[in-house]
C-alpha cells in the first residue's frame, strides 16, 4: 500500500467520527476520547469498527489501550494502514 | 454479560486520584449507591436468604418468596440422590482436599466427576476447575499466547474478559451476535497468527442465544479454534442437554466447551471438555488450575451425581420449556417489553424504562413474594435496566401463573404497564 498521507487519514477519520460526536465537540490533536468526547465502551467499539472497515485494518484492544488522544489515533492508523 | 452489579463485564481501569487514599477512586460509586438507598428502596444487592425451602422457595428478608432468579434451571439442589452423594463423600473423604489438583487434591471423586462430564458430552477429555470463572480464566489465558488473537463477542461474561486480561494475546471484540463483524475481523488477522474465537451459547443478560452454526462455520473457514461457554444451556438446551452447539448440530466443530456446576448442576465448580489430542497438558500449564485448591469431595460427588441424572432429564427439560414459554407469553400479553421476542432459553429478561422504576418494580415484586435479578447500567448491554427471570424445572405450572399475577399487580402499581 502507498504510504498514506497523515492529513488524508485525519480527514477520513474526521468524517467517520461525526455520527459518534453527538455534542459536536471540536477536535484537536490533544482531544481525548474518554474525557473530552465522553465515549463509552460501546461507542468505542462502533467507532473502531468504522475505522477498521474504512482502512481494512485491525486495531486490537491492546493497541486501543495505548490510544488516548486524536493525534495518537491518527498516528496509529497511519502506521497500521502502511503495514 | 452477567452478575456485574455495578461494573461492566469488560474491565475498566479506574483513574488514580491524588488524595493518597486508594479508596477515593470508588467515591462516585459509593455516592451513587447511597443516593439509591436514600430514595428508600430495599437494597437490591443485600438480600439475605434466611431459609431455603426448595429450589424454588426461600424466606428472604423475612418473607416467603418464590425464587425466579437463581439459575437453578434443573432444580437439582435438593435432589435426594445428589444430597446423599454429598453426605457419603463427606463421611468417607472428609470436608476438603487442602491441595491443588496436581498435588494432593485429586481424589477418586474428582476423577469420577470428570468421567461423568466426558460421558455427558461424549468427549475425550474433561478438566474440572474450582469455578466456571476459573475455567474461562485458565483456558483462555493459557491457550492464547503472545502474538495470537482472541476474537470475542462484546457482550461476553466477565470471566471471559478476565481470561483475556490475564493472558498476552491480542484482543479483538465484535458486535454482539454479528456474524459479518466476526468474519471481517478474522479476515484481517495477519497470516500465520493463532486465532481463538470465544462465544457463548446463551447470553445471560437478555436470554438470547448465539447463531453458533454460522459463527463456527466462519471461524473454521478462517482456521480459528473455537471455545463456547455453555454455562446457561447445560442440562436444558439440545437433545442431550449439551447446549446450544448441540442443538444447532455443530458441537463436533467446537474445540473447547466451558461450563459450570453453579447453574443446572446445582453446586459449585467449573469445567472444560475437549477432543483436542493434547488437551491433558493443560493440567500442568494452566495456572488457575494448578495454583488453587481443588473442590471438596462432597462438591464433586454432588456434581457427578447431578450430571449423571441430567443425562436422563428429558421430562424436566420439556417442563422447563413449557415454563419459559408460559412466562414469556404471559408477560408479553401483560404489556411488558422483553429481551427477546420469542423465548430462546430459561432466561426471560424484562426491560424496565429506567433504573428508578426498575428498582421500584424489583422492590414491589419482592414485597409480593417474588425474587428476580435486577441488572442495571453499566453492567447491561446498551445501558438497559433489566429484571432478569430465570426459570426452574421445579416451578409448577400454577407457580408460573402466580408469578404472572405478581408481575401484573407490581407493574400496575409502579406504572410500567
Ligand atoms: C456465561 C458464564 N460463564 C461463566 C460463569 C462463571 O461460572 P461460576 O459461577 O462457576 O464461576 C458464569 C456465571 O457466573 C456465566 O454466566
- Nearest CB to B10; choose among A41, A58, A62: A41
Q: What confidence score (pLDDT) does residue A83 get?
A: 75
All 3 cell numbers of residue B400? 408460573
Which residues of chain B does A49 touch, with a Cβ-Cβ cutoff of 8 Å? Answer: 174-175, 181
- Asked whether the predicted pLDDT for residue B3 surpasses 70, the reply is no
Chain B stretch 370-389, residues whose beta carbon is closer than 8 A to a beta carbon of chain A: 378, 381-383
First-to-final CA distance of chain A: 8
Share of chain B above pLDDT 90, in %: 87
Length of chain B: 417
pLDDT at B1: 43
CB < 8 Å to A41, chain B: 8, 10, 12, 154
Task: Say which residue the cell 470475542 belongs to.
Answer: B152
pLDDT value of residue B44: 73
Task: Extract the C-alpha cell encoding B33.
Answer: 449507591
Complex confidence, ipTM? 0.92
The pLDDT tens digits of the residues spanning B242-259 come to 999 999 999 999 999 999
Q: Give the pLDDT score at B5.
A: 58
Q: Is the CB of B157 under 6 A from ligand 1?
A: yes
- Partner A contacted by B154 (CB < 8 A): yes
Residue B2 has pLDDT above 70, yes or no: no
- The domains located in chain B, with CATH, are 38-74+314-414 (3.90.1150.10), 80-310 (3.40.640.10)
Residues B44-71 have a mean pLDDT of 93
Mutate to test the pocket of ligand 1, among B157, B198, B228 (most ligand atoms within 8 A of CB): B157
The residue assigned the cell 422492590 is B363
Q: Closest approach of chain A CAs to the CA of B64, in angstroms?
A: 40
**Pairs across A and B, CB distance < 8 A:** 40
Q: Check B170 against A62: CB less than 8 A apart.
A: yes
Model pLDDT for residues B116-148, shown as the tens digit of each residue:
999 999 999 999 999 999 999 999 999 999 999
Question: Using the beta-carbon criterion (under 8 Å), do B154 and A45 form an inter-chain contact?
Answer: yes
Contact of B175 with B154, CB cutoff 8 Å: yes
Taking CA atoms only, the protein residue closest to ligand 1 atom 10 is B132
- Cα B282 to the center of its chain, rounded Å: 23
Q: Mean pLDDT for chain B?
A: 95
Residues with Cβ within 8 Å of residue B42, at least 6 apart in sequence:
B61, B363, B366
A45/B317 Cα distance (integer angstroms): 37
Could you give the C-alpha distances from A45 to A60, B7, B144, B176, B226, in angstroms and in order?
Answer: 10, 18, 22, 11, 22
Q: How confident is the model at residue A80 (pLDDT cuts 50, 70, 90)?
A: very high
- A35-69 pLDDT, tens digit per residue, is 999 998 889 999 999 999 999 999 999 999 999 99
**Listed range (A33-37, B33-37, B146-150, B189-193) with the worst mean pLDDT:** B33-37
Query: Cβ separation of B173 and A53 shorter than 8 Å?
Result: no
Predicted confidence (pLDDT) per residue in B367-380, tens digit: 999 999 999 887 88
Residue A18: is it exposed, middle or buried by C-beta count within 10 angstroms (0-12/13-18/19+)? Answer: exposed
Range list of H helices, B99-238: 108-121, 132-143, 158-166, 179-188, 212-221
Query: What is the pLDDT at residue B336?
Result: 98
Q: Which of B175, B185, B382 sits opposite A58 (nearest CB)?
A: B185
Region B289-306: mean pLDDT is 98
B231 lines ligand 1 (CB under 6 A): yes
Amino acid at each position: 500500500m502507498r504510504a498514506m498521507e497523515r492529513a488524508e487519514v485525519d480527514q477520513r477519520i474526521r468524517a467517520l467520527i461525526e455520527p459518534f460526536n453527538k455534542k459536536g465537540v471540536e477536535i484537536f490533536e490533544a482531544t481525548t476520547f474518554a474525557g473530552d468526547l465522553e465515549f463509552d465502551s460501546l461507542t468505542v467499539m462502533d467507532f473502531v469498527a468504522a475505522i477498521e472497515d474504512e482502512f481494512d485494518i485491525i486495531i486490537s484492544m491492546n493497541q486501543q489501550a495505548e490510544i488516548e488522544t486524536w493525534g495518537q489515533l491518527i498516528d496509529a492508523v497511519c502506521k497500521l494502514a502502511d503495514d | 454479560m452477567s452478575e456485574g452489579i455495578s461494573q461492566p463485564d469488560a474491565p475498566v481501569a479506574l483513574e488514580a486520584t491524588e488524595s493518597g487514599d486508594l479508596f477515593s477512586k470508588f467515591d462516585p460509586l459509593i455516592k451513587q449507591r447511597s443516593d439509591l438507598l436514600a430514595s428508600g428502596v430495599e437494597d437490591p444487592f443485600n438480600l439475605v436468604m434466611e431459609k431455603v425451602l426448595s429450589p424454588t422457595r426461600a424466606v428472604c428478608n423475612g418473607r416467603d418468596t418464590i425464587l425466579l432468579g437463581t439459575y437453578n434451571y434443573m432444580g437439582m439442589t435438593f435432589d435426594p440422590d445428589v444430597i446423599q452423594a454429598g453426605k457419603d463423600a463427606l463421611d468417607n473423604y472428609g470436608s476438603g482436599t487442602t491441595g491443588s489438583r496436581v498435588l494432593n487434591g485429586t481424589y477418586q471423586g474428582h476423577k469420577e466427576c470428570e468421567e461423568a462430564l466426558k460421558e455427558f458430552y461424549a468427549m475425550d477429555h474433561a478438566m474440572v476447575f474450582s469455578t466456571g470463572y476459573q475455567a474461562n480464566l485458565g483456558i483462555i489465558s493459557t491457550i492464547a499466547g503472545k502474538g495470537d488473537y482472541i476474537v470475542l463477542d462484546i457482550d461476553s461474561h466477565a470471566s471471559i474478559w478476565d481470561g483475556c486480561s490475564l493472558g498476552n494475546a491480542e484482543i479483538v471484540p465484535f458486535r454482539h451476535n454479528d456474524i459479518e463483524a466476526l468474519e471481517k475481523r478474522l479476515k484481517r488477522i495477519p497470516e500465520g497468527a493463532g486465532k481463538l474465537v470465544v462465544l457463548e451459547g446463551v447470553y445471560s443478560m437478555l436470554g438470547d442465544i448465539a447463531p453458533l452454526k454460522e459463527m463456527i462455520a466462519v471461524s473454521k473457514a478462517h482456521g480459528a479454534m473455537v471455545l463456547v461457554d455453555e454455562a446457561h444451556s447445560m442440562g436444558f438446551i439440545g437433545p442431550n442437554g449439551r447446549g446450544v452447539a448441540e442443538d444447532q448440530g455443530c458441537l463436533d466443530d467446537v474445540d473447547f466447551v466451558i461450563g459450570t456446576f453453579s447453574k443446572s448442576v446445582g453446586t459449585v465448580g467449573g469445567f472444560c471438555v475437549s477432543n483436542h489430542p493434547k488437551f491433558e497438558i493443560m493440567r500442568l500449564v494452566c495456572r488457575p488450575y494448578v495454583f488453587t485448591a481443588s473442590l471438596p469431595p462432597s462438591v464433586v460427588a454432588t456434581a457427578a451425581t447431578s450430571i449423571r441424572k441430567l443425562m436422563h432429564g428429558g421430562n424436566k427439560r420439556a417442563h422447563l420449556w413449557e415454563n419459559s414459554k408460559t412466562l414469556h407469553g404471559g408477560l408479553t400479553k401483560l404489556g411488558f417489553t422483553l429481551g427477546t421476542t420469542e423465548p430462546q432459553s430459561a432466561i426471560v429478561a424484562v426491560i424496565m424504562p429506567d433504573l428508578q422504576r426498575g428498582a421500584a418494580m424489583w422492590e414491589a415484586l419482592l414485597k409480593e413474594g417474588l425474587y428476580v435479578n435486577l441488572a442495571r447500567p453499566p453492567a447491561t448491554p446498551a445501558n438497559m435496566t433489566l429484571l432478569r427471570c430465570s426459570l426452574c424445572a421445579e416451578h409448577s405450572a400454577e407457580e408460573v401463573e402466580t408469578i404472572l399475577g405478581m408481575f401484573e399487580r407490581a407493574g400496575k402499581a409502579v406504572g410500567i404497564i
